[in-house]
Amino acid sequence: MRHSSIPSAQLIVQHCKAKQIKNVIISPGSRNAPLTIDFTEDPYFSCFSVIDERSAAFFALGIAQHLCQPVAVVCTSGSALLNYYPAVAEAFYSGLPLVVISADRPVYKIDVGDGQTIRQDDVFHRHIGYSTNLKQDVVHATERIELYAPEWLQGNSEEASQTRIQQHNDRELNTALNVALKIKLPVHINVPFEEPLYDTARKPAAVPLVVPAKKEEVDEISDIGNFVDLWNAAERKMVLVGVNPPHAVEQQFLDQLAEDPSVIVFTETTSNLHHPRFFTSIDSVLAPIEKRDNRDTVFQRLRPEILLTFGGLVVSKKIKAFLRKYKPRHHWHIDPLKAYDTFFSLNHHFKMAANLFFLQFLRKTKPVQSEYYSYSNSIRNAYVAKRKAYLERIPFSDMSVFKHILPGIPEGYQLHLANSSTVRYGQLFDLHPSLHVFCNRGTSGIDGSVSTAVGSSIYAENPTVLITGDLSFFYDSNGLWNNYLRPDFRIILINNNGGGIFRILPGKEETENFERFFETAHQRDVELLSRQFGFEYLSASDENGLTGMLSGFYEPSPHPKLLEVHTPRTMNDKILLGYFDFISSIKY
């Protein structure tokens, strides 16, 4: 097995191997050749080649999202590194351990007019768990160091200088990779390489000093009696769950929460939690209340005494607005690492996994007689009936498309939702409990949806379907520019010819400037693009065409498939807003 002749490249790869970071996404370049050689020559690593660095980082994010493990991305020097930033920010706010490894030019060639150089050290400093700049080896290209940085060698032997350099690099690599493993945040390792870059050796010259990552998790709830007493005395408890990986919480705990008449559980599509008594469409509960004359009275009845939250970020703006105005007396959050004060009322952070919390807590609690669930359920039942009636009367549109495509996804599929309108429409419908749902809700950007879904599909036991809007798809079409598309990969692209969500937001105007600069109406050709990347292309523009195309869409095929669904650009917002008006006529 060959190794790069550069010790710091060897050291990085050996540390990754020692920390069991197996998946590595590499974008081509020359400066990162030493890393590419060592990663690809070692059969331990699963290496993927993705040309576009922005796409590569989201591809890695998808793997990390699916496996809940650190994934490394490797790039060359210069602006290549900056293309990682959107995915780094997403990883930072989603709590995903992305390991960014960037090759750099020697420090003496930065800011002197040398090509392909920028200030790479600490470039992600506002959105990174840990950032380090490794020291350059002095036993490699020593003659160049003597020429450009002779002070590095003055007063010390070459071997003594190299020993100190490796001690520094060992320490920094241990710290960075342990942050990724323990704190689940992205980390950045920047490493300078001097030429020659392609020389190899049969044996590694560097032997790493590895410090294992020790997870320091709280395993017992302190003062549990006080929290239990508060819980057992409260008649209105709300549990709100954001983004969660599949199977994160044991069903027995969910069942116990659901059986308490003083508890209501709000879940989102991205929570991957299911129970018949859970409330799955938060906006459908709250929107009708907002339009009522006695809304304050109704909201006061829904106002929780205790709010218990866990999982990641929440999509629904309406639940945020409700809980910020009608604050709970107590807000507790469960998470091993962090707690956002989203509703400006956080009282306590239980620093542990949800399963461990519920194992200790729920065995000491008891159901409390209350009308909290029954009253909330009466609202839910009313809107469900109204929703069914509304869906039967609306014309072909974004909303009617979701009525057809969501129930038609085969059981066990992995479902990726793009951001903007797509994930919000997904919140209005019930999904089969067997589906595993993912969405990049850390920064909620449209960039990277395609790349993330493709990366996540690599290790998925079952097939993957991505539901996306047209702008999200075009923005990240390079996500299809790789050799890792499975033939069972599916895309449903809802093309309303622009950023339809801007028609729903306040301030919309029917002007040429609105269409050009906000809605960004376009005439891009999806068919040509999909065929370029080897997809079998299908199209539908009405209800009959859609149901016909869906009938065989998920059947096995030699190539991945893309179904483009054309919807009316100027009608979708009226139908969605009309839905909330229609269900607001509920009497309760």
CATH code of the domain in which 252 resides:
3.40.50.1220
**Tokens at residue 454, please?**
């493709």
Give the DSSP letter of residue 279.
B
Give the DSSP letter of residue 29.
-
Going across the sheet that includes 346-350, the strands are 263-267, 237-241, 306-310, 330-334, 346-350
Question: Is residue 312 in some structural domain?
Answer: yes
Q: How many CB atoms lie within 10 A of CB 211?
A: 16
Are 263 and 362 found together in one domain? yes
**CB 334 within 8 Å of CB 357:** yes
Nearest-angstrom CA–CA distance, 327 and 331: 9
User: In what helix (H) or strand (E) does residue 331 lie, and over which residues does it extend?
Assistant: strand 330-334
**CB 222 within 8 Å of CB 135:** no
- Tens-digit pLDDT profile for residues 333-367: 999 999 999 999 999 999 999 999 999 999 999 99
Residue 468, classed as helix, strand or coil, is strand
Are 191 and 241 found together in one domain? no
Are 482 and 370 found together in one domain? no
Question: Is residue 386 in some structural domain?
Answer: no
Q: Which of 319, 354, 380 is the last residue of a domain?
A: 380
Nearest-angstrom CA–CA distance, 295 and 298: 5
Nearest-angstrom CA–CA distance, 542 and 562: 17
Are 433 and 367 found together in one domain? no
Question: Is residue 282 in some structural domain?
Answer: yes
According to the model, what pLDDT value does residue 505 have?
56
CATH of the domain at 449: 3.40.50.970
According to the model, what pLDDT value does residue 385 have?
85
According to the model, what pLDDT value does residue 191 have?
98
Q: In sequence order, what E strands does 436-516 have? A: 436-438, 464-469, 490-495
Are 376 and 413 found together in one domain? no
Nearest-angstrom CA–CA distance, 423 and 441: 9
Are 80 and 187 found together in one domain? yes
Give the DSSP letter of residue 476.
T
Are 357 and 406 found together in one domain? no
User: In what helix (H) or strand (E) does residue 538 lie, and over which residues does it extend?
Assistant: strand 536-540
Question: Is residue 587 in some structural domain?
Answer: no
Which residues constitute the domain of residue 92? 3-197
Nearest-angstrom CA–CA distance, 59 and 543: 33
pLDDT < 70 positions in the chain: 216-217, 498-523, 586-588
Question: Is residue 215 in some structural domain?
Answer: no
Are 499 and 424 found together in one domain? yes
Q: How many CB atoms lie within 10 A of CB 93?
A: 17
- Tens-digit pLDDT profile for residues 447-466: 999 999 999 999 999 999 99
Question: Is residue 360 in some structural domain?
Answer: yes
Are 426 and 533 found together in one domain? yes
Q: Is 131 left (phi over 0), alpha (psi -120 to 50) or beta?
A: beta
Nearest-angstrom CA–CA distance, 274 and 267: 8
Are 310 and 241 found together in one domain? yes
Are 167 and 310 found together in one domain? no
The residue type found at 48 is F
According to the model, what pLDDT value does residue 504 have?
58
Question: Is residue 292 in some structural domain?
Answer: yes
Question: Is residue 207 in some structural domain?
Answer: no
**CB 313 within 8 Å of CB 441:** yes
**CB 452 within 8 Å of CB 64:** no
Angle in degrees, 0-180, between the axes of helices 572-583 and 372-393, rounded to the nearest 10: 140
Q: 90-93 contacts: CB < 8 A, separation 24 or more?
A: 90/58, 90/61, 90/440, 90/442, 90/443, 90/445, 90/448, 91/61, 91/64, 91/185, 91/186, 91/442, 92/127, 92/128, 92/129, 92/185, 92/186, 92/442, 93/127, 93/313, 93/442, 93/443
Are 504 and 557 found together in one domain? yes
Sign of the torsion formed by the C-alpha atoms of 90, 95, 96 and 102: positive
Largest CA-CA distance found in the chain, in angstroms, rounded: 86
The number of domains in the chain is: 3
According to the model, what pLDDT value does residue 588 have?
54
